[in-house]
Amino acid sequence: MLDGIAGSRIIVGAYTDRHGGVCPMLAAHRNGGRTSFASFACAWDRYTGATRRPRPPTQRELNTLRSMLEASIGLEEVPSLQEVKRPKPSYPPGSAWLRAFRRFDDYERALVELDLAVARPDELELGHDAVARSAQ
């Protein structure tokens, strides 16, 4: 399709016009692309705000079309998640929550210290209303 939009006079709002202009899908077809996505034609006309009469696209519309096509080609070259090899974890399965601590008692001790470090509402200077609400 990239070759088609580069080598043809692209139009908006029709399949062809009287002056040799073609829609992007027909341009791609004439350059060897075999696509039959009718939804593309509808989306292209909807994006460009095409009315009943064919017109040449603005430079912005052509740049957007070219950018989207190039991006879709780039996405085809990216491997899927199933194809990417992942390294084996260096820790036993099921122990990921202990990563920061080597032993469970160290983890429990850290929780106790964290609990002691958090101030209670009556210890904070939140103002009269905040303390009264928290006491209820």
Whole-angstrom CA distances from 89 to 84, 93, 95 are 15, 8, 11
Residue 71 and residue 10 in one domain: yes
Q: Tell whether 101 and 73 lie within a shared domain.
A: no
Between the alpha carbon of residue 100 and those of residues 88, 89, 112, 115, 117, the distances in Å are 19, 15, 15, 18, 19
pLDDT at position 67 over 80: yes
Look at 116 and 53; give whichever has higher pLDDT: 53
The reported pTM is 0.51
Q: Are residues 14 and 43 in the same domain?
A: yes
Is 60 within the bounds of a domain?
yes
Give the range of the structural domain holding residue 52, as residue numbers without chain letter.
2-77
AA identity, residue 127: G
Domain-embedded: residue 73: yes
Does pLDDT of 103 surpass 60? yes
- For the residues of 56-116, what is the DSSP string, one character each? PPPHHHHHHHHHHHHHHHHHHHSPPTTTS--PPPSS-TT-GGGTT-SSHHHHHHHHHHHHH
In this prediction, residues 95-117 reach a mean pLDDT of 74
Distance CA 126, CA 136 (A): 15
Answer whether residue 87 is part of any domain: no
Question: Are 66 and 101 in a shared domain?
Answer: no
Six token digits for residue 68: 């989207």
Whether 62 and 118 share a structural domain: no
Q: How many domains does the chain have?
A: 2
pLDDT tens profile 52-62: 888 888 999 88
